[in-house]
Amino acid sequence: MKMAILGYGVVGSGAYEVLTKAGYPVKRVLDIRPHAELGDVLTMNFDDILHDDEIGIVAEAIGGLSASYAFVSKALAAGKHVVTSNKHLVCHYYRELRELAAKNGVMLRFTSSAGGGIPWLYNLKRCVRCDRIEKVMGILNGTTNFILDAMIRDGRRFDEALSEAQRLGYAEANPSADIDGNDVARKIAISANIAFNTVVSEEMVLTFGLRNFRKSDLAYVSEKFGRTVRYLGYGARVGEGIALFVEPTLILPDSLEANVGKNNNMISLFGEVVGRLAFYGQGAGKYPTGLSLAQDMIDIYNGATAYLYEPEEVTVDNGAYRRKYFIRTKAQTPFDFYDHVDRVGDVSYIVTREISVAEMHDAAHLLLEEDADSFFAGFEPQPD
Ligand code: HSE
């Protein structure tokens, strides 16, 4: 069986180099740009791959939704295994592509779509076979972690740190996906689909961005609460359903997350049987993500079979997950869940009682209307 890679950008070229160096047969690479180093392997016509019976594994690393969806669905329908690093595609078309793969007796793998180079989804999936996952939680965006680390360790300002993340190539072309949380929301939706054997969409993930975080917030939470800050995604069983959210979070300085530096990611699963397992490494980049894409291809090449479960209907209930929050705002209207308010000039620093994630996000909309710079962060409870 031979392999093909769709897209010769950052991830596709990384996967190609990893695979060819290790001696795996990549017969074709599809790209719209010329790449002399690829010689006859390069094609600009997808039909050269679709109609080649020798090619049984197709890796998609084009990104976006339209071309990637057309190629991936055609490849699955033609009985080819598909591997993708495209979180947008996996989030948007999970149910449909999963069904198409099952109907055609082929595999759909997407380990590199959440966690980049970290074999997170692969191991999450293995755990689900014989354990009940209670929670997934962690740092799933390198850009925001790089910004926080630069602010905390080097005293940089938010905007300086963001510019540096862009210069180093960590940030998405439009960094809003990073600093407003959509990137993490997608990765949490994909992780929740595996952890809870269901199909949720990124729209179900309540998301509050990091863009309003300031050095003065860091100084305040550090002095008053002995906490530091990380930007975390959560998927957790609660009541009869699950909660899905992305928030700046106040954590203890000796926690694992607080010690994740630079643009690294770290995500944990909490299994009823296994307890906590944490996975750390590079969540993006040519070789980490390219290698993870290649690993999925090699698994299939070596005969791996799919773990097929029918997805279950799970209720997303962000009203059931409760915790305390820190808020910094100039908005005057108080909420009845404020527990403690500290005024410094025209700024209020607030600690809430335990409230639900949904209540906090609803309140944030109103706070932002009055003061567009308002910021909040959830208190991660002390571990038992
Ligand atoms: N912009 C993303 C990050 C890339 O910073 O983690 C990987 O999805």
Domains 2-114+287-301 and 121-283+321-379 share a fold: no
User: Is the minimum distance from the CB of 284 to ligand 1 under 6 angstroms?
Assistant: yes
Structure confidence at residue 219 (pLDDT): 97
Which residues are part of the catalytic machinery? 187
User: Is the minimum distance from the CB of 146 to ligand 1 under 6 angstroms?
Assistant: no
Length of the chain: 384
Residue among 111, 93, 263 nearest 187 (CA): 111
Terminal-to-terminal C-alpha distance of the chain: 51
User: Is the minimum distance from the CB of 117 to ligand 1 under 6 angstroms?
Assistant: no
Position in ligand 1 atom list of the atom nearest CA 170? 5
Residue 97 scores a pLDDT above 70 = yes
pTM above 0.85, yes or no: yes
| 121-283+321-379 is classed CATH 3.30.479.30 | no
User: Is the minimum distance from the CB of 179 to ligand 1 under 6 angstroms?
Assistant: no
CA separation for the pair 33, 376 (Å, rounded) = 45
Q: State the pLDDT confidence band at 77, using cuts at 50, 70 and 90.
A: very high
Q: State the pLDDT confidence band at 384, using cuts at 50, 70 and 90.
A: low
Q: Which of 11, 86, 178 is the best mutation target for the ligand 1 pocket, counting ligand atoms within 8 Å of the beta carbon and taking the most?
A: 178
Report how far ligand 1's centroid is from the alpha carbon of 310 (Å): 30
pLDDT in tens, 174-218: 899 999 999 999 999 999 999 999 999 999 999 999 999 999 999
CA separation for the pair 7, 33 (Å, rounded) = 9
User: Is the minimum distance from the CB of 193 to ligand 1 under 6 angstroms?
Assistant: no
Position in ligand 1 atom list of the atom nearest CA 171? 1
Report how far ligand 1's centroid is from the alpha carbon of 266 (Å): 13
pLDDT in tens, 46-64: 999 999 999 999 999 999 9
Residue among 351, 346, 311 nearest 332 (CA): 346
Position in ligand 1 atom list of the atom nearest CA 183? 8
- The class level of CATH for 2-114+287-301 reads alpha beta
Average pLDDT over the chain, rounded to an integer: 96
Mean pLDDT over 246-268 rounds to 97
Structure confidence at residue 57 (pLDDT): 98
**DSSP collapsed to 3 states, the chain:** CEEEEECCCHHHHHHHHHHHHCCCCEEEEECCCCCHHHHHHEECCCHHHHCCCCEEEEEECCCCCHHHHHHHHHHHHCCCEEEECCHHHHHHHHHHHHHHHHHCCCCEECHHHCCCCCCHHHHHHHHHCCCCEEEEEEECCHHHHHHHHHHHHHCCCHHHHHHHHHHCCCCCCCCHHHHCCHHHHHHHHHHHHHHCCECCCHHHCEECCCCCCCHHHHHHHHHHHCCEEEEEEEEEEECCEEEEEEEEEEECCCCCHHHCCCCEEEEEEEECCCEEEEEEEECCCHHHHHHHHHHHHHHHHCCCCCCCCCCECCCECCCCCEECEEEEECCCCCCCCEEEEEEECCEEEEEECCEEHHHHHHHHHHHHHHCCCCEEEEECCCCC
Domain ranges of the chain: 2-114+287-301, 121-283+321-379
CA separation for the pair 266, 261 (Å, rounded) = 10
CA separation for the pair 232, 212 (Å, rounded) = 15
Pull the structure tokens for residue 154: 């080097």
